[in-house]
A and B are shown apart, each in its own frame.
Chain A
Amino acid sequence: MSEQFSVEVKEISKSFHGVTVVRDVDFDIRKGEFFALLGPSGCGKTTLLRMIAGFEYPDKGSIWIRGRDVASVPANDRPVNMVFQHYALFPHLSVFENAAFGLRMRRVPEPEVRRRADDVLGVVQLKDLGPRMPAELSGGQQQRVALARALVNQPELLLLDEPMAALDEKLREDMREELKALQHRIGVSFLYVTHDQEEALELADRIAVMEKGRIIQIGAPQEIYESPKTAFVADFVGVSNLLKGKVAEVEQLLVEAASLPPGTAAAAASAQASSAAMRRVWLEVEGVGRIEAFTGDGFQAGEAVTLSLRPERIHLSTSQVSELENRVSAIVQRAIFLGSDIHYHVRLASGLLLRVQTIYSPIRRVRKEGDRVYLMWRSEDATVLA
């Protein structure tokens, strides 16, 4: 067992009444890491979390924490603690007694209970609210009690089950920042389950995207965003134009990854695949035409593919820009002004609808419905998906 991981999950599966909910899931969380488990509802992320907490036992596989396989160890004997979706604070106990609960159950001596519970309430900035009852607290304060109650036990790993779901929008943003700062300060590993991609992108050091009981992709937020492995990931994390097409031609010559412009999808893809070389390909995209793009190895002429093109990667202009290799003309169908951004829905001659996102600037003209425009993007800015 290596010392660098808080938990190592190996090949675990779980089914309920013959329906497989989690299938061969394999990942690890490094010490001090903020790890997000991202997926739509019903993808198995909560079941996975509950198996690590000890509320469910996997049908097969192992879960290693502090050098011990805890896959069949009950929850009250695992060095992990959980923040529940609706916090599950004990309504009959004061804030202080909630925070002290875990210590009392383990019969920690009274002076130490006092000291540690007081300390942890200080960490979550609730020092003066010790005597209050949970029902007297606001949603944000309740969440902090839930955090304190878990952290007082100094867990190897803190599990958080959609902790923002019960808060309103404005508070959610504040609590996100607070949570990130807290994690940074105390250095405990977090496993954060959410269906909100924005939350995952903002908070996590690494994200695991789940679909139908499997982990599809694990990576840093930027990697996941720039270089999604499947159309599902591209669509679920951020917004993407997903275009169907076919590989028309593959260039034999390899392109040095180092020569790719940094910050592009192609550069991220080569980093994710840790391959040093990329290949230029030409695609025949339905409703768009011939498109140039970069891929890793493994694509052949004639193969059906999906092209993922982020709305903010598309340059929208009335004049053509020569250094952008891909170009298609379109008509603005709708322009949505969102303050800092403008979202366009544009229609190609083929009838295909695309989404484009530009940054608003008062010196640039906002296009109106019916305007004829060019959509342009660099070959390195699209991702080719199998």
Chain B
Amino acid sequence: MTRLKARLSLPPLLWLAVFYALPLGLIILVSSAARGTYGGILWSLSFKSYLRFFDPLYLGVLARSIAVAALSTVLCVLLGFPISWWMARLGKRGQQIMVLLILIPFWTNVLVRLYAWMFLLGSSGPFNSLALRSGLLRAPLEVLYTWKAVLLGFVYGQLPFMILPLYASLEKIDKSLIEAARDLYASSWQVFRRVILPLSKPGLVAGSVLVFASIPCDFVTPDLMGGSKYALMGNLIQQQYLVVRDWPFGSALSLIQMLVIGAGLLLYLRQEQSA
């Protein structure tokens, strides 16, 4: 039995070794190297790249990334909860259709979807021209290339990752628990606060982790929706690798980001567990 278990766990372990541990080791190695004059890697052992990060400019990018990720996560929860709740109460068929509708956008490349948003939000896009023509607005609403558009892009892109786990949790809540709470004098708010919310926690936590962790890594959304004016950690790292060709600094940034997000999530999970 134990031997069978050991054999069965071999493929995933191998997978992790090849596709996770090895690249991570490489990044750690590269982060301690120095940049060659022409963008190559000069192997050495130094913390220069890490020290470089403690520049107000880069610290600001990290702080902004975390703030944007946190704000987007909160918005995704606020939007995703009612949608998931509504989905969970549909009939079997309705639920299947909704899950499909949520997944369909993923069949399209993220660039195409973001360009669609840019078209929609543009100063001569359908929203603005309709509002202008109907007299609702005097001047076009300039949303595109502002931080609002970046936030919109994040929430739009990440909402499914909030809805799906949350819906899975909510769908499992036995309807008679809600009736029992009602029977025991709970108001609608109390039913939500004392029964639905605690029972949806696994989905809420999973969704929040997914959303919060993927936003700082995204460099496409801030580039397109923000017009390259709002650099987050993802943009910084991408520039170091592909534009500046400073791989050691890019690697150091990646590791710092990993540590910060990891520590944040660990704190969050621990607090959720004790609560």
Contacts and interface: CB of A to CB of B under 8 A. Distances in A.
Interface of A: 53-55, 74-77, 80-82, 84-86, 88-92, 101-102, 105-106, 149-150, 153
B183 A53 contact: yes
B91 to A, nearest CB: 14
Interface string B154-192: 000000000000000000001011011111111100100
Nearest to A97: B194
A78 B186 CA distance: 11
Choose among B183, B185, B198 the residue with the greatest number of A CB atoms under 10 Å from its CB.
B183
A86 B183 CA distance: 15
Contacts of B179: 53, 55, 75, 82, 84, 88
Contact of B182 (A76, A91, A92, A106): A76
Contacts of B181: 90, 101, 105
B182 A75 contact: yes
Given A86-B176, A88-B176, A81 B182 contact: no
Given A84-B176, A105-B190, A90 B183 contact: no
The 5 closest A-B pairs by CB, nearest first: A102-B184, A88-B176, A88-B180, A105-B185, A75-B182
Contacts of B199: 91-92
A80 B183 CA distance: 8
B195 A90 contact: yes
Given A84-B176, A86-B176, A105-B190, A92 B184 contact: no
Given A88-B176, A102-B185, 4 more contacts: A54-B182, A76-B185, A89-B180, A101-B181
9 contacts: A55-B179, A81-B183, A81-B184, A84-B179, A91-B199, A105-B181, A105-B184, A105-B190, A105-B194
Contacts of B194: 90, 101, 105
Nearest to B179: A55
Contact of A92 (B176, B180, B186, B198): B198
B198 A84 contact: no
A86 B174 CA distance: 10
A101 B176 contact: no
Main secondary structure of the interface of B (DSSP, over half): helix
B164 to A, nearest CB: 22
Nearest to B201: A92
Contact of A82 (B174, B180, B187): B180
B190 A90 contact: no
Contacts of B174: 86, 88
Contacts of A80: 183
Given A88-B174, A91-B199, A92-B198, A76 B180 contact: no
A77 B182 CA distance: 9
Contact of A75 (B177, B183, B190, B195): B183
Choose among A54, A77, A102, A153 the residue with the greatest number of B CB atoms under 10 Å from its CB.
A102
Contacts of A150: 183-184
B186 to A, nearest CB: 5
Contact of A84 (B180, B185, B186): B180
Nearest to A50: B179
Nearest to B177: A88
Contacts of B187: 76, 105
Contacts of A77: 185
B134 to A, nearest CB: 43
Contacts of A90: 177, 180-181, 194-195
Contacts of B182: 54-55, 74-76
A92 B198 CA distance: 7
Given A91-B199, A92-B199, A106 B176 contact: no
B163 to A, nearest CB: 22
A126 to B, nearest CB: 17
A112 to B, nearest CB: 15
Contacts of A101: 181, 184, 186, 194
Choose among B185, B190, B195, B199 the residue with the greatest number of A CB atoms under 10 Å from its CB.
B185
Contacts of A74: 182
A109 B186 CA distance: 16
Contact of B183 (A82, A89, A92): A82
Nearest to A159: B183
Interface string B191-232: 000110011000000000000000000000000000000000
Given A92-B199, A105-B190, A76 B183 contact: yes
B205 to A, nearest CB: 14
Contacts of A153: 184-185
A50 to B, nearest CB: 9
A82 B183 CA distance: 7
Contacts of A86: 174, 176
